[in-house]
Amino acid sequence: MVPESYYVVLSAVLFSIGVVGVVIRRNPLVIFMSIELMLNAANLALVAFGQRFGNLDGQAVVFFVMAVAAAEVAVGLAIIVTIFRVRRRLSVDDLSIMRW
């Protein structure tokens, strides 16, 4: 059987790729997808931990993370669509209005 540490290391790799994606991309949709990638990596680690401890609680938590991610995507995409409707451009560098 494959040790759980392999799954945890793979999860760390996917999470780091997601972090780099959030920083280097300018399209808010791609940034959003990178956040989904990070959530997914965390889910994978949770399932691996639950398997290691021999109970199902990790899988229950992953179920809730999926539900929250679905709500987050719906609200986030609605916000992006609203911003696009007002500004007609789609780059995070333009959205500095709330920065001091």
Partner 1 sequence: MAHVAFFAIAAIAVASALGLILRPNAIHGALFLVVNLGSVAALYLTLGAEFLAAAQVIVYAGAIMVLFVFAIMVLIPGKEETGPDPRRGARLVAVPVGALLLLLLVIAVGGRWSGPRGPAGPSGSAGAVGRLLFTNYLFPFELTSVLLLAAMVGVLLLARRRA
In angstroms, the CA 5 to CA 52 distance is 10
Q: Is residue 35 near partner 1 by the rule CB under 8 A?
A: no
Please select the residue that binds partner 1; options are 42, 51, 98, 99, rule is CB under 8 A: 51
Q: According to CB under 8 A, which residues from 11 to 30 bind partner 1?
A: 12-21, 23-27, 29-30
Alpha-helix residue ranges (DSSP H) falling in the chain: 4-24, 28-53, 57-87
Closer of 1 and 97 to partner 1 (Cβ): 1
44: number of Cβ within 10 Å: 18
Q: How far is the CB of 86 from partner 1 (least distance, A)?
A: 10
**Among 54, 60, 51, residue whose Cα is nearest residue 5:** 51
Q: How many residues bind partner 1 (CB under 8 A)?
A: 71
